[in-house]
Structure 1
């Protein structure tokens, strides 16, 4: 049931009637604080990836036992985004942000002093809980602090820029610290602890005090949280381990865990449907399924496009780094230097987004971005090792980041615009979850392609495939790297097709000023709720009709 709010939208909106006035300097510091949190999140993952060989040497661990140092962080950070996003909306985004960065810094520091790989795996899993709380809270904080305006566009573009900066900090600075600092691989963890301290201090002084949630029923759907977290953990684990298991994807525990993961997600969807549509005193669902149909299904389309973009983008980055280090035999630092244009271009992309997001249709941004990521994958799919870096590697590094930055910035703005005030962190957490799942899915698929092609080509050249495939002939390795990039190429191109088909009519999502049009407000329990209507009206969040009238202007 919907309610029409017939009053005109005020000319100078605010996200809440009681939002405090904020100076320009404080607003800038607020954006920088949340951006620093994004830098911390990305660098905590990329710096450790570069440091894995040094960790293996120092702790006397085989290469195949090092993966969980990265995977444990990704599992805990990626699978709890929805739950922590919901808690942030209910109990305070500032609290969630501060607890998240404090937690991240504490366990980063602990990782720097550990002396065993098992302890490091466990501590990394705990460290990942920090970003799971911080990133959804950051999106909700920005959406609350900046109503639809040029300032909101700049805020989200700057926040998005934290990803390429974090990648540069992790790969470039983390690699340099690992190679040259006295603490070697421990130094990047100390760097993360320092960044977390800056985020905590900045959050204390720049983030507005939490306001009570607008929802009447603030109970937490613990059953739904358990179901979705368990399902995501199992599926993410299987995607990461399926190709590494003793019998590959036919390994019994891989098959069983995959089935269980799908069942848990299926039961979660049913449970959310039941809570949303049941009458009586059932607690509110963790995630309304009706969110996916917002804006005539464009909410779901944007989420799936993000999933596909990250499937391709992260796969490109992963296989490009392996190509430089394992095929071309460059050192980690020299390989990282060849990826440096990605960070520079990433910053420029977010600057471009800030300039054009208020003028350009979002479908144009998304299509350009995903196609450019596809071009990067294509360049490595046809790469000639004898050619200069400037022929294939450099243009691929330049074009690869367009999709990630354009889709993230425009996607988070779009989702913030069509989500209600009390859903901002949940919606942001859901968007982040889809990118995390896309990462795991893309790497799983491209790894399957790589390994199958490597084994086939090695057999053709007379190589004994019972031996480790890392020693396969160079021509076989080259074909397998190319094949992995062809598979990665398919993901962003499919995302571009989906954008053309399903995002038509969305229009401009950045800094549109209100025009006094009628707003359609979705109420939380299927009944009119004046307080929620006022809140949605004041923050210009349209739950149902954005893009639903063939390109009508977004509020």
Structure 2
């Protein structure tokens, strides 16, 4: 076996990105101590010395059980700050889904008051997912270049402000446009949160597993808790009160963030802002950002408007062709631009590619199914928003329990098996929804469907999120978060567009006129089909356990600093923890 074969995967990943790092952060190596991790510079030279000393003291005093669980990251002054930050990071990933959940159970009320069509109602949530996904990559790169902490706080504050603006919407155009702007605000908070978490929790441990499990729970649970709080506010006042409540909550989160978010940046802290701004304009992938925004926007709009405007309409065909062309050009552009939004090398890691392909369809089916379930309860069962929210409470409770379980078993159970369990749960959940009737018993169909849906969401999000955070070095963790969330946000928008097209097409048929349940059944069948696609990619995933503490992980870090030259010639292959060799 030659030296190149012995080089650990994590060493290859970091070394292969040295050229990109020098282009994005030309002064990072000069300002950092030799051998220091370029992505974690918040402590400075003195802080690093203190961290090393304290780490040695802690390791000598701590028990084997404490070392296995993991030490508190040095960037946190206390356990309280660590818990508060993880809570804030969870809020960040819940921002978009919280808004979608809050909107989903009051869409019927909004539509009636503002005189909205079915397509316009769908765009209340679809526009948020679309803009969140389209802007996520660019904002992730911006966070790395200009400051993660600042971008996070601005994102929280702007989300609060625009949520308040939604509460005063007077027409469909106002509603959908401002909801789209809210998606941009939500896209500002996720990449910085992941970037800070990835740099802070740089060593595999149970502590890291629990932190990332809480973070991963934000997406599915945000939808549920958003629904519950929205239902309560609407019951007491009206649907506008739900958005006022969101504005108040995120204003509070903004204030808390100022005091709890540590300064963990991807650039030297003594680098002047003007120099960072100059680097930003020189390296920011503006062309790729524009292609992403317009490509996904045109494609999703065409899918949503096609059933009502006609698939042969000139503007629908133009949007489909132009949107597809822009996304194809985006792929080629990323291969030639020196500092791309989505580094092409990450797709060379087949595990990463197939984990995303196996997780994305299930999440698309999950979000689409939840949207139409809430609409079904309002329109066919004539339930009040608060009653709909109460019906969704079991999903929130189950989600919390499953998330704790997921965080506890990532390092014990084969993660490919967890992905398979999640896919099966997604399918079973949506099958139950497709089989129910307006007069069906809640406990026979909706309740088990809700319990099963979060099995898929929690298990697959934890596995996928943990792997993504290990496939890029710490100084590009915000970008890794942007890649992961971009794919899932855009997937959500596409899923809502497809299901809306199917729902609208079925509405005018003779079968639908005789049975109002037909369009909903068709929409739920879309969710079943999307969830089933996940199984097509599971056989290609080669994943063991993740996040366990072992001597091997320490050896990997040691080897990575000793053999950078050999590793530089080897393409990145992703995470080094819990990964099985591909035959």
TM-score interval (norm. to shorter)? 0.7 to 0.9
RMSD: 3.3
Alignment match, 2:244: 190
Q: Which residue of the other structure, out of 142, 145, 153, is the alignment partner of 1:87?
A: 142
Shift of residue 451, structure 1, vs aligned partner: 4.7
Name the SS of the counterpart of 2:470 in structure 1: helix
* Larger CA deviation: 253-262 vs 103-112: 103-112
Q: Which runs of 5+ in 2 are unaligned?
A: 12-35, 48-73
Give the whole-Å Cα distance in 1 for the aligned partners of 2:294 and 2:364: 22
1:423-502 superposed matches below 5 A? 423-452=476-505, 455-458=508-511, 472-474=513-515, 477-499=516-538, 501-502=539-540
TM-score of the two chains, using structure 1 as the length reference: 0.82
TM-score of the two chains, using structure 2 as the length reference: 0.79
Distance 1:378 1:389, change over 3 A: same
Match status 1:158 vs 2:214: yes
Conserved in 2, the CA contact under 8 Å of 1:40 and 1:192?
no
Shift of residue 61, structure 1, vs aligned partner: 5.2
Match status 1:257 vs 2:296: no
Conserved in 1, the CA contact under 8 Å of 2:104 and 2:125?
yes
Match status 1:125 vs 2:125: no
* Larger CA deviation: 400-409 vs 50-59: 50-59
Conserved in 1, the CA contact under 8 Å of 2:104 and 2:371?
no
Give the whole-Å Cα distance in 1 for the aligned partners of 2:347 and 2:541: 14
Q: Which has the higher helix share?
A: 2
Give the whole-Å Cα distance in 2 for the aligned partners of 1:76 and 1:168: 21
Shift of residue 175, structure 1, vs aligned partner: 1.7
Q: Which residue of the other structure, out of 104, 107, 110, is the alignment partner of 1:55?
A: 110
Q: Which residue of the other structure, out of 256, 267, 288, is the alignment partner of 1:202?
A: 256
Q: Which runs of 5+ in 1 are unaligned?
A: 276-282, 459-468, 534-540
Q: Which residue of the other structure, out of 302, 314, 332, is the alignment partner of 1:270?
A: 332
Conserved in 1, the CA contact under 8 Å of 2:104 and 2:374?
no
Match status 1:220 vs 2:284: yes
Alignment match, 1:180: 236
Q: Which residue of the other structure, out of 538, 549, 567, is the alignment partner of 1:512?
A: 549
Name the SS of the counterpart of 1:418 in structure 2: coil
* Larger CA deviation: 381-390 vs 400-409: 381-390
Conserved in 1, the CA contact under 8 Å of 2:346 and 2:471?
no
Name the SS of the counterpart of 2:307 in structure 1: coil
Alignment match, 1:462: none
Distance 1:451 1:546, change over 3 A: same
Conserved in 2, the CA contact under 8 Å of 1:78 and 1:432?
yes
Give the whole-Å Cα distance in 1 for the aligned partners of 2:340 and 2:116: 44
Q: Which residue of the other structure, out of 361, 364, 385, is the alignment partner of 2:414?
A: 361
Alignment match, 1:34: 89
Name the SS of the counterpart of 2:574 in structure 1: coil
Q: Which residue of the other structure, out of 389, 396, 409, is the alignment partner of 2:462?
A: 409
Corresponding pairs, count = 507
Give the whole-Å Cα distance in 2 for the aligned partners of 1:83 and 1:426: 9
Give the whole-Å Cα distance in 1 for the aligned partners of 2:574 and 2:267: 18
Deviations 1:317-362 (A, max 9, x none): 1232233233333333323332322211111111111111121121
Distance 1:52 1:452, change over 3 A: closer
Deviations 1:66-94 (A, max 9, x none): 44433332332221111111111222211
* Larger CA deviation: 315-324 vs 304-313: 315-324
Distance 1:442 1:128, change over 3 A: closer
Deviations 1:363-403 (A, max 9, x none): 11111111101101111223355542211221111101111
Distance 1:257 1:67, change over 3 A: same
Distance 1:549 1:8, change over 3 A: closer
Conserved in 2, the CA contact under 8 Å of 1:152 and 1:511?
no
Give the whole-Å Cα distance in 2 for the aligned partners of 1:7 and 1:302: 18
Shift of residue 514, structure 1, vs aligned partner: 4.9
Give the whole-Å Cα distance in 2 for the aligned partners of 1:7 and 1:79: 30
Give the whole-Å Cα distance in 1 for the aligned partners of 2:558 and 2:290: 33
Alignment match, 1:235: 299
Conserved in 1, the CA contact under 8 Å of 2:105 and 2:374?
no
Distance 1:211 1:521, change over 3 A: farther
